[in-house]
Homo-oligomer: A and B are copies of this chain.
Amino acid sequence: MKNILDDKYFMREALKEAKKAYEIGEVPVGAVVAIKNNIIARAHNLTQTLNDVTAHAEMQAITSASNYLNGKYLIGCSLYVTLEPCVMCAGAIFWSQLDRIIYGASDLKRGYSLHGDLLHPKTKVFRGELEKESIDLLQSFFKSKRK
A88 within 8 A of B: yes
Range of interface residues on A (Cβ < 8 Å): 20 to 34
Q: Can you tell how many copies of this chain the complex includes?
A: 2
Complex partner residue of A94 from B59, B62, B88, CB under 8 angstroms: B88
* CA A7 to CA B85, docked complex, whole Å: 34
Residues of B within 8 A of A92 (CB): 53-54, 88
Interface pair B53/A96, CB less than 8 Å apart: yes
Interface pair A87/B52, CB less than 8 Å apart: no
A139 within 8 A of B: no
Complex partner residue of A53 from B47, B48, B87, B95, CB under 8 angstroms: B95
Q: Which residues of A come within 8 Å of B, CB atoms? A: 47-48, 51-54, 59, 62-63, 66-67, 70-73, 86-92, 94-96, 115-116, 118
